[in-house]
Amino acid sequence: MTLESRYHIQNFTEGSATEPHWGYADRIVPCTNDAGSCEYLDVVYHSHDLGMLYSGILWSVIIGGLLLWGIIHRSHTSNRITRSINSFVRRRLLPEFKMGRYFFGRTTRLQVLVLLCLTIYLTIFSFVGIRYKIWKTPVKNHPELHNTRSSIGPLADRVGILAYALTPLSILLGSRESLLSLITGVPYQHFNFLHRWLGHIILLQSIAHTIFWCIVEIRLYQPQPSTAKSWITQTYMIWGVVAMILLLLLWGLSLQWSRRKFGYEFFRKAHYFLAMVYIGACWGHWAQLKCFMIPSLVLWLVDRAIRLIRTFLIHYKILSNGNGLFETIQAEIKHHDEDIIRMDFDNPNQLDFEIGQHFYICFPNTKGGIWQSHPFTPLSLPGEKHGYLIRAKKGETKRIMGSEGETTPVILTGPYGVDIMRDLGGEDNILCVAGGTGITFVLPVLLYLSKYGLTQGRMIELIWVVRHQRDTEWIAKELEDLRRDENIRITIRVTREIAIPGSNGMTTPTTESIRSKDLDGSQSEKTQTQEDVEKNGAIIPVSYNPELYSECPCNPPVYTSSSSSSTTPQIQMKNKVVDAEKAIEEGTEPHHRPDLGEAVKQFVGRTINGPTMVYVSGPGGMISDVRDEVALLNDGGRVWNGEERAEVRLIYDDRLE
């Protein structure tokens, strides 16, 4: 039974020849079984051959599409036709797919469309080409019993083939050393959405494959339970069970709850290890489909190997005596507030990178050591001293904040990402929008344009949204350099500025301290005096200005000092004192977030001629607002008629989420 069950009720000792089938067991010809079993085998092998064909078609479309995308990306073709088409596509496919935010998160219509097309293809061709019928066949040595053979078996095999075929694509989409980015110019992190959802699809396919074969072997085949026991104890089935367990672990640990519970670094390392073992288990389960497992394993190994080589080339030095030395880099650190540090160090060995690329940095002196690394974008220009901003959340970045001394050793890997100035035209107007530490993504663009005298003749503006005015100290030197260029307009919007509490009771800020921050960093004339406070019984938060912000505090809080020694500002609302920052975080008090969509619209409206390039980096909500407005500002018809202002392009980085 052992050999027969694996080769679909065939016995090699009864046939005179074999017929090869790619990705499956050879078929014995002529068929020596009963008529029903022979007809069933016809369906099984025909369905399998079609499954391999459909997998080949899927990969042909993927490879062909990528090659076409790569040709277009590298052709630098820019004429009225292509620009009009691109503007039309951006208007339709760039906005966020809001109807599916609960399931998909903040994703574009284009990403959801690609996923939908893939899902439709897999759904259709999981069922097409299978003859659906039930056969009752005799059981050898058990005349009183019969086997029920049906199309469940061929369907289970078809789903399994497609799951195997998707495995290399999943590795490609999740690879940091991304071949897809090299071909298309799209940053590797933008493929994470498809990588995650492809994992869901593979899991569903594997579950269906497992359930269907359990029904066949445990229920429909006779005699029982001997048939089921013989089936489950075979080597290929043991590997199948192992592969299913590993896949469930991969999926479970990738859920947001698991990442919060165990930490991102544990998830990342476990994901790498489990993925490699899973590929091996799939190979052990059905070696005939190694045509899909070999590329998966090669892609995984190449990704890991290139990472190590990159790190080696940055840090390995040849000494004067001919010996080699792997040397860490000593970085200067400067603390800002309780959760921000700035890190600076000299460019190692004239390391070359492009504007917009980032590095993975690990801190060997912390608890995580060389086993943990995090992506950071340098705020400096290539060839100059590296500068980074790090916001401590928890885990490794939190431990960095607690490090003693003014320096810390670091190890770099990279660079990763793409050149975000590659497609910037000489007449493009430029709007850079950043939130918090997202300034590191857009700042080098402005520094480069200013340093090389490329700001003349076009509109350039930086809109930086920060929590507090003091946050501008993170990049004080760089801001000073940019302010020397009169062609660059700098807008800093403060969202959480509050009055400084006094030592006793309610504190009334000075007139100066409660002025709202204007677009260019100056102050508005709308103030609130002590007389206003006594009359109205409320202090308007510093950052509130209805002309600049889309949200207003309808019930302005009163800031008081806590009776404890803590310096954390408090809010007194209806005799209840709460932490001001916590109230904003929990949404009980508005944080006066600026309407960035309106800001983008106004910027494009002020342009005189030429298209606009928008760079944005920050939290997901900020990127969604900017992305949706950029989509609305595109108009393919107006571009075709020669109105360049209707062409607005977007480059964004959402790695902060």
Contact 167, 279 (CB under 8 A): yes
Tokens for 445? 């663009």
Is residue 443 predicted with pLDDT exceeding 70? Answer: yes
pLDDT at 265: 78
Report pLDDT digits (tens) over 309-355.
988 888 887 666 666 778 889 999 898 877 889 999 998 776 889 99
pLDDT at 264: 77
What letter does residue 108 receive in the DSSP assignment? Answer: B
* Residue 440, H or E segment: helix 439-451
* CA separation for the pair 354, 380 (Å, rounded): 11
Rounded mean pLDDT, 116-141: 95
Report pLDDT digits (tens) over 238-285.
999 999 999 999 999 999 899 888 877 788 889 999 999 999 999 999
Rounded mean pLDDT, 181-210: 94
Task: Give the chain's domains with CATH numbers.
Answer: 20-76+92-214 (no CATH), 329-415 (2.40.30.10), 420-496+585-656 (3.40.50.80)
Is residue 509 predicted with pLDDT exceeding 50? Answer: no
Task: Tell me the pTM.
Answer: 0.83
Q: Cα–Cα distances in Å, from 486 out to 8, 88, 469, 480, 489?
A: 78, 34, 22, 12, 7
Is residue 463 predicted with pLDDT exceeding 80? Answer: yes
Rounded mean pLDDT, 503-519: 33
pLDDT at 280: 96
Higher pLDDT, 525 or 627: 627
Rounded mean pLDDT, 226-232: 94
pLDDT at 266: 85
* CA separation for the pair 569, 574 (Å, rounded): 17
Is residue 555 predicted with pLDDT exceeding 70? Answer: no
* CA separation for the pair 30, 16 (Å, rounded): 7
Report pLDDT digits (tens) over 105-121.
889 999 999 999 999 99
Higher pLDDT, 656 or 647: 647
Indicate the pairing of strand 460-466 with strand 407-416.
Answer: unpaired
pLDDT at 405: 65
| Angle, helices 620-633/80-93, rounded to nearest 10 degrees | 130
* CA separation for the pair 352, 342 (Å, rounded): 21
Report pLDDT digits (tens) over 559-579.
322 233 333 444 444 434 444
Q: How confident is the model at residue 101 (pLDDT cuts 50, 70, 90)?
A: confident
* CA separation for the pair 215, 228 (Å, rounded): 10
Is residue 397 predicted with pLDDT exceeding 90? Answer: no
Report pLDDT digits (tens) over 215-226.
999 999 999 999
Give percent of the chain with pLDDT exceeding 70. Answer: 78
Tell me the β-bridge partners of 29.
Answer: 17
Is residue 544 predicted with pLDDT exceeding 50? Answer: no
In terms of Cα–Cα distance, which of 293, 656, 202 is closest to 465?
Answer: 656
Most confident of 110-124, 134-148, 459-473: 110-124
Rounded mean pLDDT, 170-187: 90
